[in-house]
Structure 1
């Protein structure tokens, strides 16, 4: 059986998902023709059975790729900050690091103190941050670096791992 790098399998899955949408669009385009009453309809494109057969094969290949990708992401590990973790956990951690970095960026972009919209009674109100925005800006930078470092480790591992899949129908 032919093998491909996990990274190519992930990319191929994305391509096949788009291919499913294209085939569905093709089915809709070929499902009906407009003719005058009494005229015999003529097939304007590929027969529906042919498109449906291709669609079924693409969907089967997506399921197979899913299974292989999920298995590889569970069975293979990377080292990050002294901890060994399965790829699936590393992928989730990278997402969480990016989300936390975005939160810290938002907090870091705030002013420490600013005039709050007044209530019209002459009192001047201030909105005061209950934290140091500079600390959050620095934390956001570090979290982004960690997320990039982790993503690079994941990507490198995705090229090291090979899965058994024949991609000759698509490449």
Structure 2
């Protein structure tokens, strides 16, 4: 059987998922026609059975790609910061690093001290950060760099790994 890089399998799955949406839309468009009473309806596009057959084939290929991608992500590992981990775990870690970086950016973009607006009696209140915003900005930058490095390792590995899938129907 033909093999393709895992990275291409991931891209193909995205393409096929979009194609499924397009075929469902096409089915909706071709499911009904408007005619005068007594007129015989004429098919304006492809027959639903033709679209259904293509849809079934693509859905099967998406399921196959899912299985192959998941298996490869479990069976293959990368090393990051001295730790070897399966790709699936590395993907989750990259997501977590980005989320943490985003949180720290938010914390880092606040002022250390600012006037707190009230509708009360004329007492001036202040909102004071209980941390150093600058430190969180710096931590956010570091975490973002780590996430980029990890993503690059994952992407490189995705081109090293090959999965058994014939993509000749699509390319």
Band the TM-score falls in, shorter-chain normalisation: over 0.9
Distance 1:87 1:57 in 2: 28
User: Structure 1 residue 169: deviation in Å?
Assistant: 0.8
Matches within 5 A, 1:151-166: 151-166=151-166
How far apart, CA to CA, are the structure 1 residues paired with 2:141 and 2:68?
A: 35
- State the shift of 1:38 in Å: 2.0
What is the CA distance between 1:119 and its match in structure 2?
4.2
Looking at structure 2, the residues matched to 2 and 115 of structure 1 have their Cα atoms a distance apart, in angstroms, of 66
Instruction: Give the Cα separation in 2 of the matches to 1:13 and 1:36.
Output: 43
Matches within 5 A, 1:1-171: 1-171=1-171
Report the Cα offset of residue 32 of structure 1: 1.2
- In structure 1, C-alpha distance between the alignment counterparts of 2:122 and 2:141, rounded to whole Å: 41
Q: SS at the partner of 1:44?
A: coil
Q: For the residues of structure 2 that align with 1:37 and 1:124, how far apart are their CA atoms?
A: 76
Aligned-partner Cα distance in 2 for 1:32–1:118: 60
Displacement over 4 Å in runs of 4+ = none
Hey, what's the Cα distance between the residues in 1 that align with 2:60 and 2:82?
39
What do residues 106-164 of structure 1 show as CA deviations (whole Å, max 9, x unaligned)?
00001111111134323211101000001100000000000000000000000110000
Q: Which runs of 5+ in 1 are unaligned?
A: none
- Give me the whole-angstrom Cα distance separating, in 2, the residues matched to 1:123 and 1:95: 44
After superposition, the CA RMSD in angstroms is 0.9
The 2-side partners of 1:141 and 1:33 are apart by 57
Alignment CA distance shift 1:32-1:118 (3 Å)? closer
